[in-house]
Amino acid sequence: MPGLQDLASLLGVPESQHQEPKLEKRRGHDGQVLNLRVRVEKRRGKPVTIAWGFFSHPMELNRLLTLCKKTLGAGGQLVDQTIEMQGDHAERMKKLLQGEGYNVR
């Protein structure tokens, strides 16, 4: 089975065009790069992962919440520009948000 390099040459795509695109850092409404934070709290004895620092459109937050719920396999909700997920998913959530182009501390 031919690789992607072979497929690109068959389609006539030059070598310089089939490179990985750089992820641009996500920006908020004010144009500043978003610096998000993720932490774990205990509520009623159970861990809750919280990501905050968003200054995004509500539709973007809904998309991100849906992505987190599907990827992490846990329930979650939006509360005042924060994403709250059930369980201790701090490291996985950081990697997921960084993959989406957010700057996470």
Each residue's pLDDT tens digit, 45-99: 999 999 998 888 889 889 999 999 999 999 999 999 899 999 999 999 999 988 8
* CATH code of the domain containing 85: 3.30.780.10
Residues 59-89 as b or e (16 or more Cβ within 10 Å = b):
eeeeebbeebbeebebebeeeeeebbbbbbb
Whether 77 maps to a domain, the answer reads yes
Whether 14 maps to a domain, the answer reads no
Residue 65: domain span: 21-104
pLDDT of residue 100: 86
Domain count for the chain: 1
Q: Is 94 left (phi over 0), alpha (psi -120 to 50) or beta?
A: alpha
pLDDT of residue 31: 58
Q: Is the dihedral of CA 73, 74, 75, 76 positive or negative?
A: negative
pLDDT of residue 35: 79
Q: Is the dihedral of CA 91, 26, 53, 103 positive or negative?
A: positive
Whether 61 maps to a domain, the answer reads yes
Is 15's pLDDT higher than 60? Answer: no
